[in-house]
Amino acid sequence: MDTLKRALSFDIGGTKTNYAVIDEEGNFITKKIKVPTPDSAEKIFEMFKSIIEENYSSIDIVTISTAGAVNLENTGVCSSTPNLPSGYPELEFSKLTDKKVFIENDANCAVWAEYKCGAAKGCNNTLIITLGTGIGGGVISNGEPVRGYTGAALEVGSMKIFADKRQKCTCGRYDCWESYASGTGLKNTAAAMAKTSPEYKTGLYKDKLPEELTTYDITDGVQKGDMFSIQVFNQWQEYIFVGLVSLVDIFNPEVVVISGGMGKFANIEMLEEKINKESVVAPVKIRHAEMGNDSGMIGAALLGLRFI
C-alpha cells in the first residue's frame, strides 16, 4: 500500500495556473491541469479553495509556487507581483483550508526541483538562473535554499554589470544584469549594436529599425547565418558570462542550472569552459534545466512535504 505523503501543488502564473497532486518522491498522482489565472485576487482565492475541496481527501498539504518574495514562514507573499492582480500579495493563504498551506517563490521551487529530481540531482550546492523576460535565480547552499532576511534573496537580475550608468533598465535603475542578459537584454543589445554595425546595414534585418528587432529575429538570424545576428548573440552570451562568473565566485556551486524561455539558447558548453577558465573557485558544471514547466509545482510540493 502506498504510504507516500501527497501535496496538491499549484504553480500560479500571470495568465495560467497549473496544478496536480504530487507525492513526496515527485511523482504525479493526478494529471497536471491548466486553468486560466482569474483576473482578481478574490477570484484566485475562490479558485484555490474549490480545487482544494475537490482534492481534500487525498492530500496532506497544499503547496503553491508563486512569483514574488515569500515570507520566512512560507505563509504569504511579501513583495509586489506585477503580473498578478492587485490584492494578490495580501491573500491569507492559510485560510484556504484546515490543512497546512506552504508557499514558496517560484525560483526557489525550481532550484529545489532540479536539486531533488533534475539537472542538479544530489548536488548540495546548486545555483539556478532563469533567463526569460528578466533574470531570476535560486541557490541551494549545503542542501538548503538561500532565502535571505525577508525571503527575497537571489534578485540576481538586479546585479550591476557596469558601474558608470551606461544603460537604463525597465526597472528605472542602471545597468541591471537583466537589462543585458535576459530576453529583453538580447533585444537591447540588438538595438544598441545595430546603430554602429556595418553587418546590420547589409544583413538580414537591414530594413528593420534597430528598436523593432526582436529576440526571435536574432535567434532565427543566427540559425540562418546572418552575421549581425551572430555578433549580437555572441555579445549577449558575453553578458550572460560576465554575470554568471561573478555568481560562481560568490556561491562556489557544484552545478549551475540554466532555465527559462531564453535559457535554451545559451551555449552551455562554451559558458562552462569560459567560466572555469576565469573563475577563482573550483570548476563548476553548467547544465540546462531538466524539469521544464513542472519545476514550480514539483519543487513546491517537495519543499512543503518536508514539513509535515
Give me the residues that bind a second copy (CB under 8 A), please: 69, 123-125, 137, 141-142, 144, 146-156, 158-164, 171, 173, 180, 238-239, 242-243, 245-247, 249-254, 278-282, 284
| Locus of grid cell 545576428 | 229
Burial class, 242, CB count within 10 angstroms (exposed 0-12 / middle 13-18 / buried 19+): middle
CB of 117 to a second copy, least distance (A): 20
CB of 271 to a second copy, least distance (A): 15
CB of 34 to a second copy, least distance (A): 30
- Closest to a second copy by CB, 148 vs 261, is 148
- Closest to a second copy by CB, 30 vs 246, is 246
| Locus of grid cell 548573440 | 233
- Closest to a second copy by CB, 133 vs 293, is 133
Can you say whether the dihedral through the CA atoms of 230, 199, 275, 293 is positive or negative? negative
User: How many CA atoms within 13 Å lie on the side-chain side of 43?
Assistant: 10
- Closest to a second copy by CB, 136 vs 203, is 136
- Give the pairing of strands 144-145 and 16-23: unpaired
What is d(CA 126, CA 77) in angstroms, rounded to the nearest whole number? 24
| Contact assessment for residue 175 and residue 166, using Cβ atoms and an 8 Å cutoff | yes
End-to-end CA distance of the chain: 20
- Closest to a second copy by CB, 94 vs 279, is 279
Q: How far is residue 258 from each of residues 4, 41, 70, 222, measured CA to CA in Å?
A: 30, 32, 22, 20
Per DSSP, helices labelled H in 38-124 are 41-55, 106-117
CB of 86 to a second copy, least distance (A): 19
CB of 251 to a second copy, least distance (A): 6
CB of 88 to a second copy, least distance (A): 18
Determine the longest span between alpha carbons in the chain, in angstroms. Answer: 69
- Closest to a second copy by CB, 94 vs 141, is 141
- Closest to a second copy by CB, 46 vs 238, is 238
User: Helix 295-305 and helix 106-117: axis angle, to 10°?
Assistant: 80
What secondary structure letter does DSSP report for 38?
P
- Closest to a second copy by CB, 279 vs 293, is 279
CB of 250 to a second copy, least distance (A): 6
CB of 223 to a second copy, least distance (A): 26
